[in-house]
Amino acid sequence: MKYTIREARREDMDDVLELIKELAEHENHLDDVEVSVADLEKEGFDNGNFKCFVADVEGKIEGMALVYFRFSTWKGRTVHLEDLIVREKMRGTGLGGALYQQVVKYGHEHGVKRIEWVVSEGNRNAIEFYENTGAEIKESWKTVHMEESGIQKNIGE
């Protein structure tokens, strides 16, 4: 199988959204996906709020990794890996590992002292893979989300 890991282009965003929806459906959260191709194009290419890498297999996008910079009060500038998705039929082919290495390379090129992401505790294969690459699963830290209803509640609407 011949593939290329490259920076995503605006015209790849249809495929990127398809991958996002595929993951959401796999996790039984398809109805929670609100982002659109227009959102991805605006935020990624017009506003520069994220960088996306894609796995291009003979002209078809089969995987993606979306990252952005954060700031840690302890470490300074960090890279956050929002999602790394490989189509189910392409898992086990090395595409996920290649995308992951591209993210690590990107972080290194930008001189960050930390790359961070969240992994589902039920995703044992990913956890084992990450640990084997030197990543540490922080069991004592909990991810916190405030959804739109919580935001509205806190601003008094």
Could you report the per-residue pLDDT of 52-100, keeping only the tens digit for each?
999 999 999 999 999 999 999 999 999 999 999 999 999 999 999 999 9
Instruction: Please give the pLDDT value at position 48.
Output: 97
- Quote the tokens at residue 120: 């589902």
Mean pLDDT within 25-48: 96
Cβ neighbours of 18 (radius 10 Å)? 14
Indicate the pTM of the whole model. Answer: 0.92
Catalytic residue annotation: 130
Question: What's the pLDDT tens digit per position in 88-109?
Answer: 999 999 999 999 999 999 999 9
**In the chain, what percentage of residues exceed pLDDT 90?**
88
Among 48-57, 103-112, 145-154, where is mean pLDDT lowest?
A: 145-154
Q: What stretch of H or E contains 37?
A: helix 37-41
Residue 123, pLDDT > 90, answer no
Judge whether 8 and 54 are in contact, CB under 8 Å: yes
- Reported as type and span, the H/E element at residue 125 is helix 124-132
- Per-residue pLDDT band for 121 (boundaries 50, 70, 90) equals confident
**Is the pLDDT score of 155 beyond 90?**
yes
Cβ burial, residue 16 (10 Å; 0-12/13-18/19+): buried
Residue 15 has what pLDDT?
Answer: 98
Q: How far is the C-alpha of 123 from the C-alpha of 120, rounded, in Å?
A: 5
**How does residue 122 score in pLDDT terms, banded at 50, 70 and 90?**
confident
Domain 3-155 has CATH 3.40.50.2000: no
